Amino acid sequence: GQNIDQPTEMTATEGAIVQINCTYQTSGFNGLFWYQQHAGEAPTFLSYNVLDGLEEKGRFSSFLSRSKGYSYLLLKELQMKDSASYLCAVYNAGNNRKLIWGLGTSLAVNP
């Protein structure tokens, strides 16, 4: 079966650091994506991990451990505009290139 788990909601303070975890159990794996989605808007691409380790991109970093079926998105120096839903998605090339999506983590950044 296909299963992707991430926390439903998180709260953090402006200027702080927050880590959003994602665990997955899928029949195939060719990469993991993180997308950001503001309310009422389309998802926008944040990161793509296919190899183990940490990928850093400005204030955002994403980590992958394929052996553990685990990823996290790390957001530093939080800003109010980071309040959004963060979606974890697994790509399986053998599954007609589908992305299997988690339900998303709603992050609220408070002043």
Partner 1 sequence: GAGVSQSPRYKVAKRGQDVALRCDPISGHVSLFWYQQALGQGPEFLTYFQNEAQLDKSGLPSDRFFAERPEGSVSTLKIQRTQQEDSAVYLCASSLAQPSSYNEQFFGPGTRLTVL
Q: Is 78 in the site for partner 1 (CB under 8 A)?
A: no
- The single residue among 29, 32, 43, 49 that binds partner 1, judged by CB under 8 A, is 43
Which candidate, 6, 31, 27, places its Cα nearest to that of 87?
A: 6
∠ CA(57), CA(37), CA(64), 5° rounding? 45
Contacts of 96 (CB under 8 A, 6+ apart): none
- Give how many residues touch partner 1 by CB under 8 A: 23
Between 3 and 13, name the residue whose CB sits nearer to partner 1: 3
Q: Is 91 in the site for partner 1 (CB under 8 A)?
A: yes
- The single residue among 16, 17, 103, 108 that binds partner 1, judged by CB under 8 A, is 103
Antiparallel, parallel or unpaired: β 105-110 and 9-13? parallel
- The single residue among 22, 84, 87, 90 that binds partner 1, judged by CB under 8 A, is 87
Contacts of 61 (CB under 8 A, 6+ apart): 47, 54, 55, 73, 74, 76
Residues at the site binding partner 1, with contacts judged by CB under 8 A? 30-31, 33, 41-45, 48, 87, 89, 91, 93, 96-104, 106
